[in-house]
Amino acid sequence: MEGLKSEVSAIIDSLGERLWEISRWIHDHPELGYREFEASRLLASELERAGFEVTRGVAGLPTAFKAEYRGGAERPRIGLMAEYDALPGVGHGCGHNVISAITLGAALALSRIMKRLPGTLVVFGTPAEEAYVENAGGKIVMLDEIKTVDAAMMFHPSTRTTAICSNLCREALEFEFLGRAVHAAGETWRGVNALEAAMLTFTAINALRQHLKPGILVHGIIAEGGEAPNIIPDRAVIRLYVRAKTPEELKEASERVKNCARGAAIATGAEVKIRNYANTYLNMITNTTLAEALERNLRALGVEIDEPREGRGSTDMG
């Protein structure tokens, strides 16, 4: 086995220049969630040329793909996750270009020795991890496909190297307030100000923070708040995240935040519609056996491992 590991390491070294080139290209051509057509095409084509059997448009998602390479047996099936969506405004601030290059490099190198190993290697191209787009959370949409593997893994860039990580559950809520538009210098008593309902919601949430359990986060924006300063807004939209350590805490905190919106609607006379605009992310539970094996191999390569610490972000990997 040590000989195979050395062989794979040498193959990855030989692929280094091409992997850097791909990472830089994806970085310089950022695409938002569910619109990562060029990044998806690039990664899938590289895998196809290496002999992987590629299926595009997995789970009805145009930028998702699955690439399989069978070794000496069908099982175990090992999944490697590639992410490649960018953030609005900042591009690849979360390093998904690096994730996709890492996953591609591991897959290409392993494919060279798969015939000497039992099992099947499966690369999943998973779009829209960043939860700002409608129905974000590509891995959740692709879950029926991903469930066919026996283990799944991904390497996320960071300022620290750990084999064990944690993150928070996350609910993406949208509050749409509907009021009645009138001229702001006219018969204002006939109007219902949807924007006031949105602002009052944030005031209520701020009053709630003191009474939320430690580690629960609530943060959001007013996505829409009217069209003209001389018109009482008849529509306002809040989009926000609620984050918590466990699904139970997330459910409780989300309901209390929803009540803030309901109360603001009652206070202003507005109507409020509440929905999830992206898939709910749960906290990731690390497979400690695999994590320990990863740590041993990283140390063998001379990588210094940092102590794990509590994460505050969220991911559809959970």
Token pair 């270009």 is found at 97
Whether 312 has a pLDDT exceeding 90, the answer reads no
User: Options 3.40.50.620, 3.30.70.360, 3.30.2010.30, 2.130.10.10; which CATH number does 169-276 get?
Assistant: 3.30.70.360
- Per residue in 2-11, pLDDT (tens digit) is 788 888 989 9
Whether 267 has a pLDDT exceeding 90, the answer reads yes
Q: Does domain 2-157 have CATH number 3.40.630.10?
A: yes
- Per residue in 45-99, pLDDT (tens digit) is 999 999 999 999 999 999 999 999 999 888 999 999 999 999 999 999 999 999 9
Q: What is the pLDDT of residue 58?
A: 97
Whether 186 has a pLDDT exceeding 90, the answer reads yes
Closest CA to 188 of 264, 268, 263: 268
Closest CA to 164 of 292, 29, 297: 292
With pLDDT > 90 as the criterion, what percentage of the chain qualifies?
Answer: 85
Decide if 2-157 and 169-276 have a common fold: no
Domain ranges in the chain are 2-157, 169-276
- Per residue in 120-130, pLDDT (tens digit) is 999 999 999 99
Report which residue type is found at 114.
M
- Per residue in 214-251, pLDDT (tens digit) is 999 999 999 999 999 999 999 999 999 999 999 999 99
